[in-house]
């Protein structure tokens, strides 16, 4: 039995403090995933808290034979993020979400501009492509795990990531072209 499975069993058997171990382990990745999906760096901690509350409430439904705990948790985070995006679109009149400013203040102006263009290019991707890319490239999930989180086939994930990469290359292909080798 793995350490995670042991922790989950302890939580199910009434040791609520044991859940803290899971929160501490996955808090950063869940927050990053939510921020990448929603483009809203300000509300991602609140949304992550909702994800962990939902996971705690539904922990008895987790089946280690079907998936890893991280895949199950990322599925909850994905669903909560999609719901938050729908609410944002309704409230904002279908405006695309703004990307969080992730540039370090000490970065050079050129780096900040490149990151801003990357943020714009990522925000311009269709939601399904952006989510697939975020799960695999930013969160380190395998194609199989990303397919499980998205509720689709591996080939679909591969296709979405391929299209996302092509769109990013097209949008950002000119970056670095002026720089000497």
State the DSSP string of 45-72.
HHHHHHHHHHHHHHGGG--TTTS-HHHH
Alpha-carbon span 64 to 34, nearest angstrom: 23
Give the pLDDT of residue 181: 38
* Domains of the chain, start order: 1-100 (1.10.1740.10), 102-181 (1.10.10.10)
**Closest C-alpha to 135, from 157, 102, 115, 110:** 157
Q: Say if pTM beats, i.e. exceeds, 0.85.
A: no
Distances (CA, A) of 108 to 71, 101, 111, 138, 147: 37, 14, 5, 23, 37
The model's pLDDT over 89-130, given as tens digits with 9 standing for 90+, comes to 766 554 455 555 554 454 566 667 776 777 788 888 888 898
């Amino acid at each position: 039995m793995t350490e995670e499975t042991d922790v989950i069993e302890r939580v199910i058997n009434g040791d609520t403090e044991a859940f803290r171990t899971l929160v501490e382990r996955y808090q950063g990745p869940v927050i990053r995933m939510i921020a990448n999906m929603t483009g809203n760096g300000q509300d991602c901690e609140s949304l992550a808290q909702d994800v962990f509350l939902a996971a705690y409430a539904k922990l008895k439904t987790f089946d280690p034979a079907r998936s890893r705990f991280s895949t199950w948790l990322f599925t909850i985070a994905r669903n909560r993020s999609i719901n938050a995006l729908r609410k944002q679109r309704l409230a904002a009149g279908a405006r695309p979400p703004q990307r969080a400013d992730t540039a370090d203040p000490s970065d050079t102006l050129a780096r900040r501009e490149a990151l801003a263009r990357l943020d714009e290019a990522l925000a311009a991707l269709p939601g399904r492509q952006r989510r697939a890319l975020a799960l695999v490239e930013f969160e380190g999930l395998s194609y199989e795990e990303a397919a499980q989180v998205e509720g689709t086939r591996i080939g679909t994930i591969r296709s979405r990531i391929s299209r996302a990469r092509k769109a990013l290359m097209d949008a950002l292909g000119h970056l670095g072209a002026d720089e000497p080798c």
